[in-house]
Amino acid sequence: MTWTSLLLVSLGGALGTAGRFGLVVAVNRLSAWQYPFGTLLVNIAGSFLMGLLATMFARSTLLSATSRLVVTTGFLGGFTTYSAFSFEVVQMAVDGRYGMAATHAGAMILACFVATALGVWAGRCLVLFVPSA
């Protein structure tokens, strides 16, 4: 690891965090329910993108290793919100909303696994159109 790669990954993380914050706030404002749809959306999108991009990066030389780290570890690491998700589930349980806590945990885990699998599948399909490694 170099200082340059550390700074670039940190910058990617900052951009991902800003993107997550903006999207979560916007989505939650549009929702009439007391349910954290914004967190669910960013985790599904981030899972899909991780599956898609990691698969494409593994089979292509379009980006350098550092650029790949900036996108996956940096941006997507900052964009997805496991800590926010786990806090929301615990807070729902503490508030006595056990059904919502269980639903949120189950929906998040299932949806993110499915999104990652779809991203891997899409990456394998799209890699046919990019130069191989």
Per-residue pLDDT reduced to its tens digit, 16-70: 999 999 999 999 999 888 889 999 999 999 999 999 998 888 888 878 888 999 9
Domain region containing 61: 37-127
Rounded to whole angstroms, how far apart are CA atoms 115 and 55?
13
Contact predicate 122/47, CB 8 Å:
no
19 domain residue, yes or no: no
> What does the pLDDT read at residue 128?
74
* Residue 54, in any domain of the structure: yes
DSSP helix/strand/coil, 132: strand
- Asked, for residue 24, whether it belongs to a domain, the answer is no
Find out whether 57 and 116 touch, Cβ atoms under 8 Å: no
* Mean pLDDT taken over the chain: 91
Does residue 20 sit within a domain? no
Among 20-24, 54-58, 73-77, 120-124, the range scoring the smallest mean pLDDT is 54-58
Total number of domains constituting the chain: 1
Residue 70 covered by a domain: yes
- Range with the lowest mean pLDDT among 31-35, 59-63, 116-120, 123-127? 59-63
Predicted pLDDT at 62: 79
In a domain, 99, yes or no: yes
